[in-house]
Amino acid sequence: MVKAIVGACWGDEGKGKITDILAEASDIVVRFQGGSNAGHTIITNYGRFALHQLPSGIFRKNILNIIGNGVALSVENFIDELKAVTEQGVPMPNILISNRCQIVMPYHKALDGMEEARLASKSFGSTKSGIFAKAHPERHFNMGIAESDMVATAAGLATTGKIPFVNTFTVFLTTLGLISARAQVCYGNLNVKFGGAYCGMSDALDGATHHATEDIAVMRSLPNMTVLVPSDATSTRWATKYAVDTYGPMYLRLSRDVYPDLYDENTKFECGKGAIVRDGTDVTVIACGILVHKALEAAEQMAARGVSVRVVDMYSIKPIDRELILRCAQETGAIVTAEEHNIYGGLGSAVAEVLAWGGAAAPTEFVGIPDTFTETGKYTDLLAKYGVDAAGVVRGIERVLARKH
């Protein structure tokens, strides 16, 4: 029987020393996810080592070490680290590198450097929760890398009458935080608010492990949970205030990328409703988040071809605006949904459920990530690769119009 140890997220190899101990009785140690900025320190008979790229099984003889899926592999750092350990007497380890790891290229480092420079004067953290921490330190709790505990703590605080906001990367909030969100917050119908930052592929350069493309499906399936997807700063401010003023579990899907302004400060929003942001008569594109803006771009392009496109911002996904969806199907005769999310389970599925429930006979196309894991790259390049840009929306419109006529 072959025994293998697979390290968890953030390059911790199952918390480093634990893996080092378990590796003694293992055949394979796999470094899974993370990059050079993650790591741990191990003390062995050879000395003290800070590992970032190498699996911790390298200190044991006859172990196959694998750099696996999701690792952001810097070839330069890998070679330097390997040289450093062998110079301290560690025998040359047996290492394989998976073809599914992500190779860090010079342009990745350049883009990362520019982002660091842009944020240098803003010491608020990547999710911006530090803004609140600085203003109200006595009401801010940094729970570390412990998403389930964070949500469970928020559930406890909610039972005392507090209104907790939990905030971290969307992908970890809606996966690692899910057990507490389901079993404590939603089951108890507690007044906890979830702010999922870096939704979709907006944490572009960190790759598939940090992209959140299934979160709408997860969160809208939870009983008692409200799901809101703002499309600009004004709608985000409304959603945040609405979350404070309204009792119950609520999920706000937030992006790292800056969305263009869409609404003025006097716009009235309503949970359970959508907004027609461009009228049209030939086809309706129902979108959310960044895809609202891509849909507007696509509508401009189609107008030049004589096609009148209606664009709906469905900022409230649960509850959803059934009346508006059915009216659009009746008035324009064709529907396209557009979202930075897997085509299964998200906005498209929610709209399709309404169309089926209402007996609407409108052909429907789904623009979204085509049921695949995504890659590392520049955000705009990723949107184009997976067909969730203006060109992708245009193709969706073309497909549905071919079916309509």
Structure token pair of residue 29? 């140690």
d(CA 58, CA 379): 35
Q: Which residue has the tokens 């909030």?
A: 173
Q: Which residue has the tokens 């996966």?
A: 175
Catalytic residue among 24, 76, 87, 147: 147
Q: Which residues pair with 169 in a beta bridge?
A: 197
d(CA 307, CA 300): 9
For 375, other C-beta atoms within 10 Å of its C-beta total: 15
Q: For 259, which DSSP code?
A: P
Are 250 and 194 in contact, with CB atoms under 8 Å apart? yes
* 147 is annotated as an active-site residue: yes
Are 168 and 150 in contact, with CB atoms under 8 Å apart? yes
Q: Quick one: how far is CA 314 from the chain centroid?
A: 19
Q: Which residues pair with 276 in a beta bridge?
A: 312
**DSSP per-residue letters across 132-186:** HHHH-GGG-----S-HHHHHHHHHHHHTTT---EEEEEHHHHTTTTHHHIIIIII
Are 77 and 53 in contact, with CB atoms under 8 Å apart? yes
Q: Which residues pair with 294 in a beta bridge?
A: none
Catalytic residues, which ones?
Answer: 147
